[in-house]
C-alpha cells in the first residue's frame, strides 16, 4: 500500500512539473527587461570614449530588507539619470526607453528646462545616436541659439489626467 501511495504522489508531482514547463515555454519571454539600463550602459561607454564624465543617479525608491519597506531615493524628484561634465560644460541627461521619450513627467521637464536656461547641456534621449547628434549640434551652435536648440528638442511632458479621454 505504501508503494502505491508513493507511486501516486510521484505521478502527481511529475504531472504538475510537466504542466509548469509547458506553461513557461508558451509564455512570452522578455527580450529586454531593462531597456533604460542597457541604454545607460551604452551611453556611459560612449561618454568614456569622448572624455565625458557622467555619473549615474539612482533616484528611485529602494527596498530595505532591514526596514521591511521601500525607502525614499536619495535624489530630489526630477533629477535626471545621468549627471556629469565635458570640460566646463555641465551635463544633465534624462534617459527613456527607446520610443518612450513622450513619457517625460512634468517635474522632470521643469528641471531640465531650468538647467537649459542656466546654460547647461540638458536633454532627454532614447538612444546613443540621438545624444551624439544633439551634443554635436549643441557644440556647433552659437551661444545665442543653444538654449532654443535644447528647448526645442525636449519632449512635451505628459500631464496627469483625472478623466478618461479615450474614445469608445
**pLDDT at res. 168:** 37
- pLDDT tens sequence across 111-130: 999 999 999 999 999 999 99
**pLDDT at res. 12:** 84
Comparing 34 with 44, which gets the higher pLDDT?
Answer: 44
> Where along the chain do its domains lie?
35-153
Q: Which architecture, in CATH terms, is 35-153? A: 3-Layer(aba) Sandwich (3.40)
Contacting residues for 22 by C-beta, under 8 A, at least 6 apart: none
Q: Are 113 and 80 in contact (CB under 8 A)?
A: no
pLDDT score of 90 more than 80: yes
Pairing of strands 89-95, 121-125: parallel
Comparing 31 with 122, which gets the higher pLDDT?
Answer: 122
CA 36/CA 142 separation, integer angstroms: 32
Average pLDDT of the chain?
A: 83
Residues 159, 137, 96, 68, Cα dihedral to 10°: -100
Q: Are 41 and 76 in contact (CB under 8 A)?
A: no
Q: What is the mean pLDDT of residues 33-55?
A: 91
Given the C-alpha cell 530588507, which residue does it identify? 65
**pLDDT at res. 35:** 80
Please count the CA atoms within 13 angstroms of the CA of 87 that sit on its side-chain side: 4
Of 113, 122, 132, 105, nearest to 42 by C-alpha is 132
**pLDDT at res. 164:** 42
Amino acid at each position: 500500500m505504501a508503494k502505491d501511495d508513493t507511486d501516486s504522489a510521484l505521478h502527481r508531482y511529475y504531472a504538475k512539473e510537466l504542466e509548469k514547463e509547458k506553461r513557461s515555454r508558451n509564455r512570452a519571454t522578455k527580450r529586454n527587461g531593462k531597456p533604460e539600463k542597457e541604454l545607460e550602459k551604452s551611453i556611459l561607454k560612449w561618454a568614456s570614449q569622448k572624455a565625458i564624465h557622467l555619473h549615474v543617479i539612482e533616484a528611485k525608491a529602494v527596498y530595505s530588507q532591514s526596514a521591511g519597506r521601500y525607502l525614499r531615493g536619495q535624489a530630489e524628484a526630477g533629477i535626471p539619470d545621468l549627471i556629469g561634465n565635458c570640460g566646463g560644460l555641465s551635463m544633465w541627461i534624462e534617459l527613456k526607453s527607446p520610443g518612450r521619450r513622450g513619457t517625460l513627467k512634468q517635474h522632470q521637464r521643469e528641471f531640465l528646462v531650468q538647467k537649459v536656461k542656466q546654460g547647461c547641456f540638458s536633454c532627454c534621449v532614447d538612444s546613443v545616436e540621438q545624444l551624439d547628434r544633439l551634443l554635436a549640434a549643441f557644440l556647433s551652435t552659437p551661444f545665442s541659439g543653444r538654449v532654443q536648440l535644447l528647448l526645442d528638442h525636449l519632449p512635451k511632458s505628459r500631464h496627469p489626467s483625472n478623466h478618461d479621454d479615450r474614445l469608445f
